[in-house]
Amino acid sequence: MSKFVDRPSPEPVGGGEESVWQYPRPPRLERTTARIEVVLGEATIARTSDAWRVLETSHPPNYYLPRTAFVAGSIAPSGGASFCEFKGRASYWTLIGGDVEVPDAAWSYEQPSTAFASITGHLAVYAGRVDACFVDGERVIPQPGGFYGGWITAAIKGPFKGVDGSRGW
């Protein structure tokens, strides 16, 4: 049985830290100038300091990178789709780096809801499906559970949706 039955107790936060339990629902979109990097097949396939992050209660941030951040030939449509009640219909992407191809390793919203229009055509990457993702040089930890795509850094405190017992959060 999970240690979280109903609502988990947020981890304490210190200076410069953020609690995912202080993030809003519905989620908020905010620009970030943090240096974002994605590595696959021992190659850096994306790099930018012009991204967006989505902040939602109980989730570590999702980072959305402009297509121009990806090296030529490193992205290809996968054909998959899903639906988010806040952002709309998501399309999935294969990421390619070195000799490695990973289907459905990224997603985008080609026609998102009005509140998320700024991320039109930007790609978010599942950190757990590539070699590594970095925020300002810090290697991120993928959000638990495999379904969600949040990136955990030392400054982000949980507990995070995706752990055992979090389905009802």
Q: What is the pLDDT of residue 164?
A: 86
- Round the average pLDDT of the chain to a whole number and report it: 94
100 within 8 A of 124, measured Cβ to Cβ: no
Give the SS3 label for residue 70: strand
49 within 8 A of 70, measured Cβ to Cβ: no
Q: What is the pLDDT of residue 129?
A: 98
CA angle 41, 42, 45 (to 5 degrees): 75
Quick: pLDDT tens for 78-133.
988 898 998 989 999 999 999 999 999 999 999 999 999 999 989 999 999 999 99
Handedness of CA 18, 20, 21, 25 (dihedral sign): positive
Q: What is the pLDDT of residue 127?
A: 98
Of 23, 29, 39, residue with least CA distance to 161: 23
What domains are defined for the chain? Answer: 26-157 (2.170.150.40)
Share of the chain above pLDDT 90, in %: 85
Q: What is the pLDDT of residue 79?
A: 86
Beta strand 141-142 with 151-152 is antiparallel
Confidence of residue 165 (pLDDT cuts 50, 70, 90): confident
Of 157, 128, 122, residue with least CA distance to 140: 128
Q: What is the pLDDT of residue 2?
A: 46
pTM: 0.93
Confidence of residue 5 (pLDDT cuts 50, 70, 90): low
